[in-house]
A and B are shown apart, each in its own frame.
Chain A
């Protein structure tokens, strides 16, 4: 590829610029496009005279730090500060309580839709703890654990689920489509996997600007079957994006079990094929999750290249409040996970056994009761708020109102003036 002395110099300059991130100051000559040059080389491939199909590589092992009883298997990975570990545990409990009550709230018709994250709290809360706050997260939808860890409150959640005037999303999206610029959490959208290649682009932006941040993106194992997933990994690998891929493999995409989703070695097996640094971890083991994310993140900012983590977990709850999962899986299967591999129980057992936290059963009950009380109060408050004013419907389609939107807004204004009584307008804030 490099043919003469001048090109050697340019290449060297380019390399040093890569290291020092000093592109802006570098002479443009350093970048001169060199024609691709790679002549035939018979040693480039390994030839065989045995005709056979390639065989499946060994199954990628799953990294685990604590066992099902909370005993430590890898003591060198206990080194998480007490403060963080306790925050992880508290947040997991909080997320479980919120999910329980909001699921019920939907059943009572007080919110239109909900998606719980039962069984996956160690994954999402652990990721929240291990990422830097400045890392931009591109979520799928079952990652309330991450945004709550960052400071999203139950009030924020309820405002969004109800879509009232305090909802940052201005009441435009379905419940659980959270997003917060202040918390570096990109707004959820329903189309699956679309966020994944976007995170590749955002991760490229960090490398371009020489920032030690990562764009982290979540998706389920079902979403990894979408074309966008393949685009995302290939782009991130070939363009050296500072992107962290986070796959929650919870065994189901709505009713579809993984056996109908893929036949290879999970999602991690595919990731390796794209030339991406790949980890597989026990998603119900908060310590393993935390360390894996820390290591993967460190790999990304050090090497200016993407990394991939597959979290092996189980979706204990229904897919959503519109789903009844015993239609396609047995109660037995669900309860086997819930009772023997529950992420909150496991971390609790570890904290107790290691003596890193003193549990007081009565106090824990009090904490859970207080969370519950707070959620119910927040729900009442959120429900009492007005919905965003009718004219906000036309805002943010573009940065400014376009002529057709101005015209349509005026048309609606006149209509509401005359027929307003038919539209329950008192629910909406005044303009």
Chain B
């Protein structure tokens, strides 16, 4: 089934399409041709388009050539050749640096780090080099055509080193953009926008959704705006903010809150973690007067802290209860205790209840 879909997708000549740019997925007009894809197929489809529409684009990393351990690069080596879709030695700092060098030399570099948990050996190259390249050279040199894709988030049994959500480490780094999609439609549009953005982007793919999130994804070449938060569900009583897999959790909590408490939640997917869309968040919280931020990563110095502080500063007079963060605990990510570590819908529901009763 999967290979059939891919084969069919591979037949499409994307170069015939001009890139369509939309602010949000909901702005894509109805009636465009779509194909049912899961998240890894949407990634594959975006990469296929990126490689086809940009003859200088390269895709590389550990085990990318045979299709990738999550199947994201399936068929691309066959289609574009080993010079453009290739394996690297097993070395994350090398992968990031190699990508920076390619980008400095005018090549569109799409690097894969197999798990977000293993991005730390490349931390120096990403933070000290990629992020600062343009600034430190006075815009003489840049590595803006670099995108680093990596997997992200809990997966049920990943324990310490196959579950991490490292976005906060990178959101503290001026010069980088950090993007996390929630479903196949967002994933394709945001990934294409990230690849074509003129700044280095870290694109985290929620691995729990690779096979679990499915949607009818437009076949065409389209991009979604970076820096735009998506209001998925409008509401009047409280604002819920999350990204990646956690968006589903807050959506479920919003449903529970409606059913059990009659509370109307506004659900927002942040999408671009940095630089983030404070205007949309501010507008929402000024309307609802209450706010909950939820993420899988540990609470202390997580991205939630940044959002809470900024919302507090911008919406002080409208806030009717404290901004609450429902996050992972300040422990390493556990194996058997994953179900009680994760900020699940009941913990978010409880926070909603306490917030509206404050």
Q: Residues on A close to B: CB < 8 A?
A: 14, 23-24, 28, 30-33, 136, 138, 167-170, 172-173, 177, 179-181, 186-187, 189, 191, 194, 196-209, 215, 227-228, 230-232, 234-235, 238-239, 395-399, 402-405
Contact = CB atoms under 8 A, between A and B. Distances in A.
B85 to A, nearest CB: 9
A402 B86 CA distance: 34
A189 B107 contact: no
Given A23-B83, A404-B275, A136 B105 contact: yes
Contact of A238 (B89, B198, B227): B89
B21 to A, nearest CB: 16
B124 A198 contact: no
B347 interface: no
B139 interface: yes
Contacts of A24: 55
Contacts of B77: 31, 33
Contacts of B86: 239
Nearest to B275: A402
A32 B78 contact: yes
Contact of A397 (B55, B66, B97, B174): B174
B102 A204 contact: yes
A169 B141 CA distance: 10
Please indicate which of the listed interface residues A181, A205, A206 has the most CB atoms of chain B within 10 Å of its own CB. A205
Contacts of B227: 402-403
Contacts of B94: 197, 200, 228, 231-232, 234-235
Nearest 9 CB-CB pairings of A with B: A201-B101, A231-B94, A197-B97, A31-B81, A205-B105, A198-B101, A187-B137, A201-B98, A170-B138
15 contacts: A30-B81, A198-B98, A200-B101, A201-B105, A205-B101, A206-B105, A208-B107, A228-B124, A232-B94, A235-B94, A239-B86, A395-B139, A396-B135, A403-B279, A404-B275
Given A168-B140, A179-B138, 4 more contacts: A179-B140, A186-B141, A198-B101, A396-B134
Interface stretch (B125-133, B245-253, B318-326): B125-133
B10 to A, nearest CB: 10
Given A201-B99, A398-B175, A168 B138 contact: yes
A175 to B, nearest CB: 13
Interface residues of B, number: 57
Given A194-B129, A402-B227, A208 B88 contact: no
Contacts of B98: 197-198, 200-201, 204, 231, 235, 239
Contacts of A32: 78
A99 B198 CA distance: 38
A187 B89 CA distance: 27
A311 B279 CA distance: 56
Given A205-B105, A208-B58, A228-B125, A198 B97 contact: yes
Interface string B103-126: 111110100000000000100110
A425 B136 CA distance: 22
B95 to A, nearest CB: 8
Contacts, number: 178
Nearest to A35: B66
A30 B224 CA distance: 34
Contacts of A207: 83
Interface of B: 55-56, 58, 65-66, 77-84, 86, 88-89, 91, 93-94, 97-107, 109, 121, 124-125, 128-129, 132, 134-142, 144, 174-175, 177, 198-199, 227, 275, 277-279
A296 B294 CA distance: 56
A215 B98 CA distance: 12
A208 to B, nearest CB: 6
A194 B106 CA distance: 19
B105 A215 contact: yes
Given A198-B97, A201-B101, A231-B91, A191 B141 contact: no
Please indicate which of the listed interface residues A32, A136, A207, A397 has the most CB atoms of chain B within 10 Å of its own CB. A397
Contacts of B82: 31, 33
Contacts of A191: 124, 128-129
Given A198-B100, A201-B104, A228-B93, A169 B137 contact: yes
Contact of B93 (A199, A208, A227, A239): A227
B93 A231 contact: yes
B89 A186 contact: no
B136 A187 contact: yes
Contacts of B129: 189, 191, 194, 198
Contacts of B128: 189, 191, 194
A235 B125 CA distance: 15
A85 to B, nearest CB: 31
A215 B174 CA distance: 28
Contacts of B88: 235, 238-239
A197 B78 contact: no
A200 B98 CA distance: 6
Contacts of A23: 81, 83
Nearest to A211: B105
